């Protein structure tokens, strides 16, 4: 483990999604908010607008729009989905990252507060996210967006949703996506990788929680039937079209993360399908490590923000 990250371990509670209500509060306790007097440096350069979009069933999905204040558009854009094992997370959780993306990559960022399982299982949250992509494209003029520079991205479960939205946009002839940013993404419900089996005591996320997470999202394993690639994007690999014709991808994997092997496998499958991929396996790190102010976190964040800027410049 990276020494700076290892020093945090005594202060991190063991991960658990058995009770979604407790998981939601636990995630907020760890990540939401900044220390008093330490406002993020980007707040003076990025405007934030609260809004909503109408889902297919009439539900109003809350969103936040982050826009650089200086310069003129049109700009590239990121439709972003927060993490939280499909059961937790909100717009506050991802505020810091979305603000940094808008600032460092000079993007409009549309952050989506999709509905959560188990109260709203698949496909409800996924369809909220896909609708957000359609909404962003339809409102490109008022948002100041160049539709040739449209990306999707997310962390953990948000990475699953980003990958799924990219697949759905291809299948449904939706808006063209120029880039997908998948950070330690949940991608495979089969739970057969070595990292899922072996990493039972890793911080912030461990293999023991992967099964309950998928149960909340998809229902019990013995009652699911066929799992859609829009739920578990790794399922697309075995379909007739596979991963062909998907947008270029940035895939980040963490050494001490049960999701490590499925992230690497997905990146490899994308490459085999002819999709350009930038794959980073960061040694000494655990799931969600970039949310902490350590040296390896700052270097990694700088790297993926720079890749995003270059991809959508």
DSSP state of 224: -
Q: Taking CA 280 as the corner, what is the angle to CA 213 and CA 285, rounded to the nearest 5 degrees? A: 60
Topology of the domain comprising 3-32+42-311? Rossmann fold (3.40.50)
In this structure, what DSSP letter does residue 33 have?
Answer: S
The pLDDT assigned to 295 comes to: 97
Tokens describing residue 307: 């890749």
Domain boundaries, the chain: 3-32+42-311
Spatial distance between the Cα atoms of 255 and 240, rounded to a whole number of angstroms: 32
pLDDT one-digit tens code per residue, 129-162 = 999 999 999 999 999 999 999 999 999 999 999 9
Q: At which residue do the structure tokens 């979305």 appear? A: 98
SS3 per-residue string spanning 268-284: HHHHHCCCCEEEEEEEE
Q: Residue 266: is its pLDDT beyond 50?
A: yes
290 tagged catalytic? no
The predicted pLDDT at position 38 comes to 54
Question: Do 60 and 54 contact (CB within 8 A), yes or no?
Answer: yes
Instruction: Give dist(CA 168, CA 116) in Å, integer.
Output: 19
Of 188, 257, 261, 290, the catalytic one is 257
Q: Are 13 and 76 in contact (CB under 8 A)?
A: no
**Residue whose token pair is 């371990």:** 9
pLDDT of residue 32: 85
- Cα–Cα nearest to 170, from 266, 69, 246, 261: 246
pLDDT above 60: residue 289: yes
- Please state, in angstroms and as integers, the Cα–Cα distance from residue 234 to each residue in 71, 162, 187, 194, 276, following that order: 40, 13, 5, 16, 17
Give the residues across from 97 on adjacent strands: none
Which member of 90, 287, 297, 307 is catalytic? 287
Tell me which of 82, 90, 106, 156 is the catalytic residue. Answer: 156
Q: What is the pLDDT of residues 174-221, one digit of tens each?
A: 999 999 999 999 999 999 999 999 999 999 999 999 999 999 999 998
Q: What is the mean pLDDT of the chain?
A: 96
Are the C-beta atoms of 178 and 149 separated by less than 8 Å?
yes
Contact (CB, 8 A) for 85 and 209: yes
The pLDDT value recorded for residue 37 is 47
Whether 257 is a known active-site residue: answer: yes
pLDDT tens digits for range 7-50: 999 999 999 999 999 999 999 999 986 444 456 889 999 999 99
CA neighbor of 4 nearest in space, from 255, 312, 289:
289
């Amino acid at each position: 483990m990276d020494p700076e990250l290892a020093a945090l371990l005594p202060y991190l509670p063991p991960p658990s999604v058995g009770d979604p209500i407790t998981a939601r509060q636990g995630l907020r306790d760890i990540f939401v908010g900044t220390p008093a007097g330490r406002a993020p440096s980007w707040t003076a350069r990025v405007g934030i607008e609260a809004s909503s979009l109408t889902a297919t069933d009439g539900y109003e999905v809350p969103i936040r729009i982050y826009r650089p204040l200086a310069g003129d558009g049109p700009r590239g854009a990121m439709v972003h989905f927060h993490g939280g094992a499909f059961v937790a997370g909100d717009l506050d959780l991802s505020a810091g990252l979305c603000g940094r993306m808008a600032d460092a990559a000079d993007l409009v960022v549309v952050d989506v507060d999709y509905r959560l399982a188990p109260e709203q299982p698949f496909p409800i949250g996924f369809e909220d996210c896909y609708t957000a992509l359609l909404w962003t494209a339809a409102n490109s003029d008022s948002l100041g967006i160049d539709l040739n520079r449209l990306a999707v991205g997310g962390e953990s479960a948000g990475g699953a949703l980003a990958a799924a939205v990219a697949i759905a946009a291809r299948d449904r002839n939706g808006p063209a996506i120029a880039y997908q940013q998948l950070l330690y993404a949940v991608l495979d419900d089969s739970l057969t990788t070595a990292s899922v089996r072996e990493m039972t005591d890793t911080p912030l996320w461990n293999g023991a929680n992967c099964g309950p997470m998928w149960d909340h999202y998809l229902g019990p394993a013995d009652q699911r039937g066929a799992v859609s690639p829009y739920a578990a994007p790794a399922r697309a690999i075995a379909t007739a079209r596979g991963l062909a014709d998907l947008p270029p991808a940035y895939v980040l994997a963490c050494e001490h993360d049960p999701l490590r092997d499925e992230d690497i496998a997905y990146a490899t499958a994308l490459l085999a399908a002819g999709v350009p991929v930038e794959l980073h396996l960061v040694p000494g790190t655990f799931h969600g490590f970039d949310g902490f102010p350590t040296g390896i976190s700052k270097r990694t964040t700088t790297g993926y923000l720079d890749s995003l800027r270059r991809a959508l410049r």
